[in-house]
Amino acid sequence: KSSKMLRSHHMIIVMLPCLVRTVFADNCSISSYQCGTHFTCPSIFERNNICPFSRMPGQLEEIKGELATFGMGCFWAGDSLFGVLPGVIRTCVGYAGGIKESPAYKNMGDHTEVINIEYDPELVSYTHLLSLFWNNHEYSLTKKIKRQYMSLILYHNEEQKLQAEKSREQEQRKRGEIFVTEIQKFSKFYPAEDYHQKYRLQNHPWLVETLGFNTREILCESPLAAKLNGYIAGAGTLEQFERELPNLELNEKSVQYLTKYIIENQGSGLYC
């Protein structure tokens, strides 16, 4: 894995139009789709007009949403980036885009490392996910690299295809460049090996054991695992974490442990 930084998160004060259903901040009301107040938040949220203090209904419940699948370099960083995003329900990293049966990390064939994202479209739109995708690639969008780390959008329906093609055209015009990003129809997703799932979270075995995240299935299916994997990597702010705490049902020792690493890793950037 490359040690290259994906993107640093600089702390800034911004005015955010919050495109979310429920928010927790001054001048924001329940069931409001817009709010106007000052927030301290990472630039990834400001760039994409997403309120970082939104609550995700069903965060600890088995709810089903829509799927998005992206290849944007090493999948560890993308897993943290999307996992902590308000409106994302669960994430899983794996291999897709090729025809080889049963790929593995050391025998991937023609597949690409991807992040499979389940999200609530009432809280975060596919367009917002695409914006994060374009702005957080580990490698260049304009130079071809080996297929394992290529820039790839796998659409799940015709609406996603149209939105992906439109956003690619808009980003190319804005930057004055031609992207090598491929847009293909989703076919099959193969979950990666256990040690790849919620990789940053698994670097903290005490927390993993305490919360019972001891199988690949749990790591892929648990909304809480997705959230904490992002927080502990520094992809979410301490303010966001504190506002979501009532929904996370963590014990005091786990909260103290997570708080330490959120503060320590905030602003260090996502990397592989």
Q: Are strands 182-185 and 151-155 parallel, antiparallel or unpaired?
A: parallel
C-alpha 70, offset from chain centre: 10
Q: Which residue has the higher pLDDT, 136 or 1?
A: 136
| Confidence grade of residue 256 (pLDDT, cut at 50, 70, 90) | very high
Residue 83, φ and ψ in degrees, nearest 5: -60, -35
In a domain, 18, yes or no: no
CATH number at residue 169: 3.30.1060.10
Task: Write the DSSP symbol of residue 124.
Answer: S
pLDDT of residue 3 exceeding 60, the answer is no
**Total residues found in the chain within this entry:** 272
In a domain, 188, yes or no: yes
Q: Which residues contact 97 (CB under 8 A, 6 or more apart)?
A: 71, 110, 111, 112, 114, 147, 152, 154, 182, 184, 187
Task: Give the active site residue among 18, 35, 41, 74.
Answer: 74
What was the pLDDT predicted at 168? 98
In a domain, 6, yes or no: no
In a domain, 27, yes or no: no
- Give the pTM: 0.78
In a domain, 233, yes or no: yes
| Confidence grade of residue 269 (pLDDT, cut at 50, 70, 90) | low
Provide the domain count of the chain: 1
In a domain, 91, yes or no: yes
In a domain, 189, yes or no: yes
Give the pair of three-digit tokens for residue 146: 């080996």
Q: Which residue has the higher pLDDT, 172 or 44?
A: 172
Chain segment 174-211, per-residue pLDDT in tens: 999 999 999 999 999 999 999 999 999 999 999 999 99
Residue ranges making up the domain that contains 221: 57-265
Cα separation, 68 vs 91, in Å, equals 10
In a domain, 253, yes or no: yes
Helix (H) / strand (E) element for 11: namely: strand 11-15
Residues 32-44: what's their mean pLDDT?
28
C-alpha 88, offset from chain centre: 7
Cα separation, 9 vs 43, in Å, equals 6
Q: Is 74 a catalytic residue?
A: yes
